[in-house]
Chains A and B, each alone.
Chain A
Amino acid sequence: ILNVEQSPQSLHVQEGDSTNFTCSFPSSNFYALHWYRWETAKSPEALFVMTLNGDEKKKGRISATLNTKEGYSYLYIKGSQPEDSATYLCALNYGGSQGNLIFGKGTKLSVKP
């Protein structure tokens, strides 16, 4: 059974703090790793898709890295803002249907002003 683990489960930080969270997964034979950002009562929004060991992606203050050999990805947020408050989901595609993503349970981030 393929399992995607995310840690921590939840995180409370002050505005301006930088933070990071982890996605761990079985390291072999996956096709792509996806990060999604999900604000309450909205749709999950794609942040990054990464496929290669050593991949680094950046979008504004948010960045992500991928280590396929050891089976983890980090998501970093620099200078957290209240609007960054959301659940961050990691998901992996192991082939087959492109829509078949295996999701972790997410990390819920709360940023206090």
Chain B
Amino acid sequence: ETGVTQSPTHLIKTRGQQVTLRCSSQSGHNTVSWYQQALGQGPQFIFQYYREEENGRGNFPPRFSGLQFPNYSSELNVNALELDDSALYLCASSASFGGRSPSGANVLTFGAGSRLTVL
């Protein structure tokens, strides 16, 4: 059973550029969530994808967008990068029905993250 893998592990971009981060979900998982962890903060929910559609979103602007592919892998795209976008981006996968869990108790399996630095 493979875990969640993310790429790249580190990258540096300049303000105004665009970035794409990638995530392969754990075998058997159909739902992917993305989180942003800024320095000194806990991870913050960006959005979730289920069946190739976004079905939940946190307080992030539209320049944060995503995709989920038929094999359940996912991408996070950020346009018009700002300095405050510098953070660790975590991907997590889970198995769910309808992208929801009646008890909210489904365990998330996280990747090790992609660290983005915006200069």
Interface set of A (CB-CB < 8 Å, partner B): 4, 30-32, 34, 36, 41-46, 49, 51, 89, 91, 93-106
Instruction: For the complex of A and B, list the 3 residue pairs with the smallest distance between their C-beta atoms, beginning with the closest.
Output: A97-B56, A31-B104, A99-B33
Report chain A residues within 8 Å CB of B65: none
Q: Which residue of A lies closest to B59 (CB)?
A: A1
The tally of CB-CB contacts under 8 A between chains A and B is 90
Chain A facing B: main interface SS:
loop
> What are 30 A-B pairs with beta-carbon distances under 8 A?
A31-B103, A31-B104, A32-B105, A34-B107, A43-B112, A44-B110, A45-B110, A46-B107, A46-B109, A51-B103, A51-B104, A89-B42, A93-B101, A93-B104, A94-B104, A95-B104, A97-B48, A97-B100, A98-B31, A98-B100, A98-B106, A99-B32, A99-B45, A99-B56, A99-B92, A99-B99, A100-B33, A103-B43, A105-B42, A106-B42
Judging by beta carbons under 8 Å apart, are A49 and B33 in contact? no
Interface set of B (CB-CB < 8 Å, partner A): 3-4, 31-33, 35, 40-45, 48, 55-56, 58, 90, 92, 94, 96, 99-113
Report the minimum CB–CB distance from A86 to chain B (whole Å): 13
